[in-house]
Amino acid sequence: MTTHEPTSGGSSTRFDPWYDHYADRTAGLSASEVRALFAVASRPEVVSLAGGMPYVSALPSELVTGALDRVMRDHGPQALQYGSGQGTPELRERALEIMALEGIRGSVDDVVITTGSQQALDLVTKLFINPGDVILAEAPSYVGAIGVFRSYQAEIAHVLMDDDGLIPQALRDAITRLKADGKTIKFLYTIPTFHNPAGVTLSWERRLEILEICRANDILVLEDNPYGLLYFDSPPPNALRSIEEDGVIYLGTFSKTLAPGFRVGWALAPHAIREKLILANESATLCPSAFSQFAISEYLASADWKGQIDTFRGVYRGRRDAMLSALSEHLPEMSWTVPNGGFYVWLTLPSPLDSKEMLPRAVKELVAYTPGTAFYSDGGGRQKIRLSFCYPNEETIRTGIRRLTSVINEELELLDTFSSTGQMEVVRPNAHVTSPPPNIN
């Protein structure tokens, strides 16, 4: 057998003797475009604006080392052992303190610790989705959520956003249309704050309106909030869960404010749902890692974690600024969103450029990005690009945007040539450097 052969996803050309044994849902499993990019982007000469890796080097390692030493000294046998399927009471208390920063009040009894918030996404989907059930999600939406939803054979209905996030009327229209089609809508999946990939934030007024719509239509809300504490200027509006308790499952994570390597996230769920979440958690992994939970509890108890989040904010703010100013300088005719927090800028290419088709040429020019199609379940997003400013430093970001500019310009020149022969028309969007376009979809 070959070593180091990249996995080719669901479409292996090798003979698979178990081909007819798989479950129906397995047909929905395919390698994401983000994933395929990891191999490419990890080559050192490529500037990757593709991944969503937090810059963990901004975390002083002695803060972690100290916490680890205390875990082994004070809690060794417990940290090395199996634990509760709900997670440790200590860490659940800490999760409540963190959520309080976003206006959330809850009971430690309703927090369930999971193996990253990705696993909470998986478990909630497992609990609610029969094949063919509909999940409402922003257009675009988090690639990892789309993957989970597909793996349980959900139908994903994208709802338009603009600069203020999900558009309430678009949500109403989608619900009406889906109900008329006899569909069963199970929940709305939303990243209201510093959206991945769109970078926008749902306004306070819309938060109230979206919740009202969901309440009226008996639709559960799954609020995914990995980036809320990573704001650059003023804090974002409070979480949806701060407004509505019974209709919202809130997902949080330590991956962006501490480190993803521990794989610890959590769900805060209405009481009856969290009972089922614990059972699903136990079924999937018996319990979240006791060691990781103790390590994070110790870190939170001893380190100035709020100060550390300020440090992260400063790092990411500088990188966002570097990206925005490089975009203004090099691509003034393009349009993009201006995030007030989080990791991502969402760029719109001039029609008819295709971000997915352009990617191999970009990688040849030593810059990688995530094509917009990764964030749609319906083939949308070809004119979009997600640019991450979280991991590379400011200088590298500027280099990356310069390279991206060359690629785009070469594509446009090529198209201009075709266009002048009457074969294709290039439509350059209006420039929106300081004010992003009203509809980023």
Binding to a second copy (CB under 8 A) within 243-262 occurs at 246-247, 255, 259-262
Radius of gyration for the alpha carbons in the chain, expressed in angstroms and rounded? 22
Interface size with a second copy, residues (CB under 8 A): 103
To a second copy, the closest distance from the beta carbon of 198 in angstroms equals 20
- Rounded to an integer, what distance in angstroms lies between the CA atom of residue 204 and that of residue 139? 19
Q: Give yes or no for residue 212 binding a second copy (CB under 8 A).
A: no
Build a one-symbol-per-residue string for 131-160: x at contacts with a second copy by CB under 8 A, - elsewhere.
--x----------x--xx--xx--------
Instruction: Map the footprint of a second copy across residues 286-345, applying CB under 8 A.
Output: 286-292, 295
The first and second tokens of residue 387, run together, are: 């640019």
To a second copy, the closest distance from the beta carbon of 51 in angstroms equals 8
**What are the C-alpha distances in Å from 48 to residues 51, 143, 388?**
7, 17, 8
Quick check: 440 and 348 in contact, CB under 8 A?
Answer: yes
Q: Which of 56, 424, 426, 433 binds a second copy (CB under 8 A)?
A: 56
**Among all chains, which residue has been given the structure tokens 């000294």?**
73
Q: Give yes or no for residue 220 binding a second copy (CB under 8 A).
A: yes
Which 8-state DSSP code applies to residue 438? S
Build a one-symbol-per-residue string for 336-355: x at contacts with a second copy by CB under 8 A, - elsewhere.
--------------------
To a second copy, the closest distance from the beta carbon of 243 in angstroms equals 16
The first and second tokens of residue 214, run together, are: 């969901």
To a second copy, the closest distance from the beta carbon of 90 in angstroms equals 13
User: Smaller CB distance to a second copy: residue 18 or 421?
Assistant: 18
Show the DSSP H helices in 101-203 as ranges.
116-128, 143-151, 168-180
- Rounded to an integer, what distance in angstroms lies between the CA atom of residue 99 and that of residue 368? 34
From 173-181, 266-274, 301-309, 337-345, span contacting a second copy (CB under 8 A): 266-274
Closest CA to 107 of 86, 124, 92: 92
To a second copy, the closest distance from the beta carbon of 374 in angstroms equals 13
To a second copy, the closest distance from the beta carbon of 403 in angstroms equals 24
- CB neighbours of 37 closer than 8 A, spacing ≥ 6? 48, 50, 51, 368, 370
Q: Give yes or no for residue 417 binding a second copy (CB under 8 A).
A: no
* DSSP three-state, residue 416: helix
User: Smaller CB distance to a second copy: residue 46 or 296?
Assistant: 296
Instruction: Map the footprint of a second copy across residues 358-377, applying CB under 8 A.
Output: none
- CB neighbours of 71 closer than 8 A, spacing ≥ 6? 79, 291, 294, 295, 298
Instruction: Map the footprint of a second copy across residues 96-125, applying CB under 8 A.
Output: 107-110, 115-116, 118-119, 122
Q: Give yes or no for residue 392 binding a second copy (CB under 8 A).
A: no
**What are the C-alpha distances in Å from 368 to residues 31, 327, 358?**
17, 15, 10
